[in-house]
Amino acid sequence: MAERTYGGRLLALMRTDRGLTHEQVALESGMIATRTISNLETGKSAFPKRETLENLLECYDPTFNEVQQVLKAFGYLPEYPLPSGEDVDAMVEQVQPVLDVAPVPAYLVDFMTRIHAWNRKFVAVTGLVGDELYSLLGRTIWEMAYEEAEADPENLNLDLLEEAHQMRLKLAIYIEEPWFKRFLKDVGEPFLTYWHAAEALVLDEIQPMTLFEPEVLTPSIFILQDLPHGLNFYPNEQPIPTDERFRICYLMPADTPTMVWLERHKICFECEPETLMPQAL
């Protein structure tokens, strides 16, 4: 009951933040009475139908996270659909200015690790230009991590197999979703070889729903042709406050040579031509 009372407070806060009265919301919904709205907010109606909640939420033009919080508070399992093209475009428009002023390489991904935007510092550490750079858009970090892997089911890399095992645990809640099956098909080999090989390892295991989890800090290494040493960065992931399906990943220098390189190229980043950025940005 305490959670549902919390849900009522969330609904009341959403309504007042938008400057709406019970009567205005009832008129907007066209099917929810003012008494019902009041009872939901005060906790007197603690077990509303999901349809009622969803109809009410539509009146508030809520963020993705607000919808998730309210549904959870009233005991419903939220849905985590793969962001649509419109969702991605809106998020890129919101986040690109943040990426552009970041003092370190940074990029935007969704919860399936597809890359959607980046800043010029990230372009520099990848060493990619032209079509190779644009080919990153929509690709998953998982796919890139496995693209050089051995795809022979009889001769798999055990470390990569364990990573695929952990992925299956974390993503178990999506496996039966139609969009997820299409997503896996698009990712293709050799990732799928490891994905299916890890299936037997997770049949009896259960993983709680968590989109993002802190990971052990392991430097990501970038090799550039004109440098005698690799660039080492620690990834620092920050979920977007309005939509937890997205996150910004900041690459923090992990050693002195990397910090020196980043500082030396600071002016170059500010003068980088726009052609290095995704066309949609």
CA-to-CA distance for 279 and 281, rounded, in angstroms? 5
pLDDT at 270: 61
pLDDT at 2: 56
Cis amide linkage into residue 190, ω under 30° from 0: yes
pLDDT at 279: 41
Q: What is the pLDDT tens value at each position of the chain, 281 positions in all?
A: 555 588 899 999 999 999 999 999 999 988 899 999 999 999 888 789 999 999 999 999 999 999 999 998 998 877 778 899 999 999 999 999 999 999 999 999 998 899 999 999 999 998 888 899 999 999 998 888 888 787 788 888 888 888 888 888 878 878 877 888 888 888 888 888 888 888 877 554 544 444 455 455 678 888 887 788 889 999 999 999 999 999 999 999 999 999 999 988 876 666 554 444 444 33
pTM, full prediction:
0.77
Residue 246 backbone dihedrals phi, psi, to 5 degrees: -120, 155
Write down all domains in the chain, each with its CATH number in brackets. Answer: 2-73 (1.10.260.40), 85-276 (3.30.450)
pLDDT at 209: 44
**What is the DSSP-derived secondary structure letter of residue 248?**
E
pLDDT at 167: 83
pLDDT at 37: 93
pLDDT at 4: 59
- Please name every residue paired with 190 in a beta bridge, in sequence order, or none if there are none: none
SS3 23: helix
Distance of CA 209 to the CA centre of its chain: 14
- Please name every residue paired with 232 in a beta bridge, in sequence order, or none if there are none: 221
* H and E: helices and strands count for the chain: 14, 5
SS3 109: strand
pLDDT at 181: 83
pLDDT at 217: 65
